[in-house]
Amino acid sequence: MSLLRRLHPLDWLAAGLLVLGLLCVATGLLPTGPAGEVMERIGPLVAFLATVIVLAELTGKAEVFDVVATWVARTGRGSYPLLFLLCVLFASVTTITLNLDTTAVLLTPVMLALAGRVGIAAVPLAMTTVWLANTASLLLPVSNLTNLLAADRVALTPSEMAATMWAPQLAAIAVTMACLWGFYWRRGRRGAPRYEPPVPSRPVDPVLFRVCAVACAGFLLALLLADVPLWSASAVAAFVVVVAFAVRRREALRLSLVPWRLLVLVPGMFLVVETVDARGLHDLLTAAMGSDDGLVGMLRSAAVGAGVSNALNNLPVYLAGEAAIPVENSDQLLALLVGVNVGPVVTPWASLATLLWFERCRWHGTRIGMGRFLGTGLVLAVTGTLAATLALAATV
């Protein structure tokens, strides 16, 4: 009973989705063939989630994030506006050039460590990470798994996709900055005119620090320069870090490092969404988005993508929405992409990046008020999706 009382609401959600998904398969609501295809499709994704979180946890214990956070804080020189711009730039570039899930895992600890080092509120920094992990993920195929799927459908190379999506990307980031400053960063929210830059950080174990820093850098370089799957790059980096801790700090290696909640939630979520798609979601999405490749159709597709992503999850919603859009409607498809990338900032389960972010915040002990998270996220979802879609329509 004590274990049940310690469970987080998201733990109950994960277990409930898995049970529901398995019941869908057992009762025949979801045939075993499509269920097997879904599990095969998400296998590499689950492997990535498991290994990259272990990598992030142990890297945090090696104080890599504390050192990076100290550098950011010292560069800001006590100015909150400058610190805000540095954090926005850091989060946006990381998301665009790497992957939103990587940003949620690796950058969130940096931001939270920054709050601890400087002695400022953690929530503004945490919200900067989670919002830009989603809204800054439009520009390149690598930025988001949905982008990779869309790039295949519309046959865009990375440079062509960047040339197409630069305006909606800038619009989404601009709206995100306005919402971040108004809701979380302005003086009335942060509570101080300036902050005191910290002294340089020195890790307790320099060997562990160097090994973890090199492992993270190698992981990021592998994603940028080598054509390797996400899960293999994160697995190699995590293995190197685990071996280093086994030699230097064996007591830090615990089963709790593994993100059990996500490993339960992701398969259940995909099974449930696949069942819903087979039982009428496709028809509903087709009717809701229509077949207009002009401005109206783009706005409808973006709105549906954002709304349904917050009810379910953006990755399976994109797959279902893509199948509902006529093959020749490339502009409408890109608008759907805007909706499923910029819009999923309202509910905790709307994107995997947000789920990963909640894991990082929970590990750090940072409490995020759910009412405020939902309310401010709704404002950003509506304004950011609208601005990015209009920018897309104006430039395609």
Query: Which pLDDT tens digit goes with each residue over 278-322?
Result: 777 778 888 889 888 999 999 999 999 999 999 888 988 888 888
pLDDT band at 99 (very low <50, low <70, confident <90, very high): confident
Q: Is the per-residue pLDDT at 161 higher than 60?
A: yes
d(CA 185, CA 83): 10
pLDDT band at 8 (very low <50, low <70, confident <90, very high): low
57-71: average pLDDT? 85
Q: Is the per-residue pLDDT at 216 higher than 70?
A: yes
207 or 39, greater pLDDT: 207
pTM (two decimals): 0.81
Q: Is the per-residue pLDDT at 192 higher than 90?
A: no
pLDDT band at 28 (very low <50, low <70, confident <90, very high): confident
